[in-house]
Amino acid sequence: MGVGLYLNGHYDPIGERSSVEDWLTEIENWWEDDISGDEMWGNFFTRCRTIHTHDGHPALSVSIHPAAEEVEFIVVEPGHIRFSAKTSTVGPGYHTALCQLMKRFADDLKVSWNPAGDGDDASYDESGYFFTGDRDAIEKEMLLHLKTIARISIETLEAKGFTLDNWHMSTGHSYAACPGDLRTPTGIRSREWIQSILDDPRNGIDIYPWWEDGLTPRFRLGRALCDMWTKVRWRPILTDDEYEDGDWLHLDLCHALAGDPTLDFPWREWAELIDMLDESEGATMLDGRDVREEVHKRAKKRPLIGYRRYPVKVELLDGWSITIPGEMVEQWDKLTWSAWDGDRTVWVNNWGITKDGVPIPAQEVLDAMKIREGEIIPHQNGDLIGKAILGETEENDETLINLQAFSAVDGKSALCNIYYHDEEDYDWAIETWHSLSAPPDRG
């Protein structure tokens, strides 16, 4: 459910383009060289990665906006490319921008987009904007989508005793520990706010970080708010990527302030971000203007922005999940997930355990898991059982405490290693291990 843009097109699979891998590399280079160097579109902080879709097609996935799902360039077969993007989590400005970019993409890379229609190879835009240029039609579709979500939230889910506490949020993380009725990419909203949308959906357009066309001050502020709520770890910067992301966010706010100083800025959080950057490599200032004094002067005491000020539930592989402190940095290395905050580290591997296609019982799985000698720490939570042992390990001439913990349900197992320095973190380590869970494999 939502508004999106889905384009089918054709290119000549000749020369270097006869290789699907080379063709996807050419598309990636277009984003990273042509677009990043553009006076306007270079203001996007894009990241590209090569993937395979659920049905096995090679594709290039591109991250463009923090409130958006990644867009995908899918090679259905040599010569046939498909572009797929969901825009209703970001707003009409994002939709029009993608349409402009895809028309430029077609011109620059000699791709012919198919016209609108009903066939599998047709292109499709729910609003029709890509084909008609009717800007009002996009707003109409976005507002209809917003009102539909509000109606489902109030009339359907709550009538059954459930609540819909996330709108337009990406999958893979849960921020339920952050207090409030409804979590959105631009912040917490109330039940009353949802009800007001049923009266007039324009009451809810503040959920969209990119409503206007172009890279306006409101666009800059909206993108910064999304990053502040969902991306920033509110503690000292640990990596070069964190510094780069944080400084980009800070410059978004600088541009927004220079363009429209009347906007409602998150002054307190901005001041905190500047302090974090200054403790690292320093906050970049716009055209020599130092906004530090102004930002700190206008910072107000109010609830702080940031879901990652609270614990975060992370979705892992094969149904496993774990809850960690929101300030932790996360990383995947092939099938191993890890997270750290400078003092504590968590990493998890998991496996499916079956015999002739039948899930092996949890107790049998757990018994087969080899663990160091020592006093076993048992654990059980419903269908899940586990065992752990506490020990020490050396890393970079430093002694670390290591909780090595195995968990199992029928047909599934996981190894969770937790490393920390301070003995007082023992309870935290046990609690983190106990948060690791997965449904049994029912075959």
- Quick one: which of 264, 255, 252, 262 has its CA closest to 227? 252
- Contact (Cβ atoms closer than 8 angstroms) between residue 348 and residue 414: yes
Same domain assignment for residues 275 and 342? no
Alpha-carbon span 173 to 177, nearest angstrom: 11
For the chain, report the end-to-end CA distance as a whole number of angstroms. 30
Run means of pLDDT, 10 residues per run, the chain, 443 residues: 91 93 96 87 84 93 94 96 97 97 97 92 95 96 94 78 80 91 93 93 96 96 97 95 95 95 95 96 84 89 86 95 96 94 95 91 92 91 95 88 96 96 95 95 76
Q: Is there a domain that residue 17 lies in?
A: yes
Same domain assignment for residues 290 and 324? no
Of 310, 330, 345, the last residue of a domain is 310
Amino acid 160: pLDDT = 67
Q: Is there a domain that residue 62 lies in?
A: yes
Same domain assignment for residues 338 and 274? no
Q: Give the pLDDT confidence of 4-40 residue by residue, as tens digits.
A: 999 999 999 999 899 999 999 999 999 999 998 888 8
How many domains would you assign to the chain? 3
Neighbouring residues of 227: CB distance < 8 A, sequence distance ≥ 6? 66, 245, 249, 252
User: What are the φ/ψ torsions at residue 21 (nearest 5 degrees)?
Assistant: -60, -45
Look up residue 122 and give its two tokens. Answer: 């047709």
Same domain assignment for residues 300 and 353? no
Q: Is there a domain that residue 141 lies in?
A: no
Amino acid 161: pLDDT = 64
Look up residue 324 and give its two tokens. Answer: 């960690």
Q: Which domain holds residue 272?
A: 228-310
Q: Is there a domain that residue 198 lies in?
A: no
Alpha-carbon span 291 to 256, nearest angstrom: 12
Look up residue 249 and give its two tokens. Answer: 């966010």
| Domain at 414, CATH number | 3.40.1000.10
Same domain assignment for residues 372 and 290? no
Same domain assignment for residues 325 and 269? no
Same domain assignment for residues 326 and 408? yes
Amino acid 442: pLDDT = 74
Tell me the pTM: 0.84
- Quick one: which of 263, 259, 271 has its CA closest to 302? 271
The amino acid at 105: F
- Quick one: which of 299, 284, 286 has its CA closest to 245? 284
- Quick one: which of 8, 9, 72, 64 has its CA closest to 35? 64
Same domain assignment for residues 274 and 387? no
Same domain assignment for residues 289 and 390? no
